[in-house]
């Protein structure tokens, strides 16, 4: 049971993968689609102010055919400082854990056992966090770290494919009418290194922290239901306690 808990938790709480910059300028049509979405979320000035943020979620995770309740809260400062906590009830067994990223260091504390992340684990956490942050501000897409291509998307949406210098890519879809992000598709790795195609949808946008934020988030893994979450709180922070990014005890 404990290994199931560790796997489910590691899948839900994640971080970002950094990449070197591309020399070529991205296509103007892809940037135009991103700029329109940035305005729909609240505008570039407000999104740039969201360098330190926190959010709380409640929901359910489906792992191995078993659906369990899980609640979480995360604090992130910039691209490389993240503190995520969760608690859940997996098959009647209550469990709690913490994942921390601080620059080139990272740790997990699951069930009182602290593990330092190796290089691969740190990269996985960083990339997965990026996939969480991109739909919130979209600003990483304009950082010069990705090759951008505008795709046709679905009938009611447009899509932008973003590929990092490491060759890993993801595709984000925007509603044609509202311009808001509605879906992100990417390859992700589970706790045991197994790779999945994850499709995450975003809906029920509300103004939170001065910007528009999707409050309902649902993910499929290889087409199967995985996580359903409701964002119950989202804040832009003026100051963050740096002790949050120390090795968890």
What CATH number should be reported for the domain holding residue 215? 2.50.20.10
**127 closest CA partner among 11, 14, 12:** 14
pLDDT value of position 93: 81
Residue 52 lies in a domain: yes
In a domain, 2, yes or no: no
pLDDT band of 112, cuts 50, 70, 90: confident
Does 43 map to a domain? yes
Ranges of beta strands (E only) in the chain are: 52-63, 66-77, 81-90, 93-102, 105-110, 113-116, 146-151, 157-164, 169-175, 181-189, 195-208, 211-221, 224-236
Domain presence at residue 1: no
Residue 247 lies in a domain: no
Range of the domain at 91: 9-236
pLDDT at 153 (0 to 100): 62
Domain count, the chain: 1
The residues near 163 (Cβ < 8 Å, ≥ 6 apart) are 146, 147, 149, 169
Residue 2: pLDDT over 60? no
pLDDT classification of 27: cutoffs 50, 70, 90: low
Identify the pLDDT of residue 26.
Answer: 52
| 14 in any annotated domain | yes
Show the CA angle centred on residue 103, arms to residues 11 and 75, nearest 5°: 55
Residue 230, in any domain of the structure = yes
Token pair 């996939």 is found at: 131
Which pLDDT score, from 0 to 100, does residue 111 have? 81
Q: Please indicate, yes or no, if residue 248 is contained in any of the structural domains.
A: no
Residue 13 has pLDDT above 70, yes or no: no
């Amino acid at each position: 049971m404990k290994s199931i808990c560790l796997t489910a938790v590691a899948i839900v709480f994640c971080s970002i993968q950094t990449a070197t910059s591309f020399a070529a300028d991205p296509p103007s049509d892809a940037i135009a689609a991103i700029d329109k979405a940035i305005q729909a979320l609240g505008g570039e000035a407000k999104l740039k102010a969201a360098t330190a943020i926190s959010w709380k979620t409640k929901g359910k995770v489906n792992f191995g055919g078993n659906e369990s309740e899980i609640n979480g809260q995360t604090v992130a400062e910039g691209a490389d400082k993240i503190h995520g906590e969760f608690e859940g009830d997996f098959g009647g067994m209550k469990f709690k854990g913490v994942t921390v990223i601080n620059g080139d260091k990272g740790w997990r504390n699951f069930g009182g056992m602290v593990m330092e992340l190796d290089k691969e684990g740190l990269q996985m956490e960083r990339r997965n966090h990026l996939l969480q942050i991109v739909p919130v501000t979209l600003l990483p897409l304009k950082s010069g770290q990705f090759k951008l291509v505008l795709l046709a998307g679905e009938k009611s949406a447009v899509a932008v494919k973003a590929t990092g210098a490491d060759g890993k890519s993801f595709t984000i879809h925007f509603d044609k009418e509202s311009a808001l992000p509605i879906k992100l598709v990417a390859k992700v790795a589970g706790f045991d290194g197994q790779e999945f195609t994850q499709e995450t949808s975003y809906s029920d946008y509300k103004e939170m922290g001065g910007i528009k934020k999707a409050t309902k988030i649902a993910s499929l893994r290889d087409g199967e239901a995985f996580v359903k979450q409701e964002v119950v709180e989202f804040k832009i922070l003026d100051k963050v306690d740096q002790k949050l990014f120390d090795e968890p005890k």
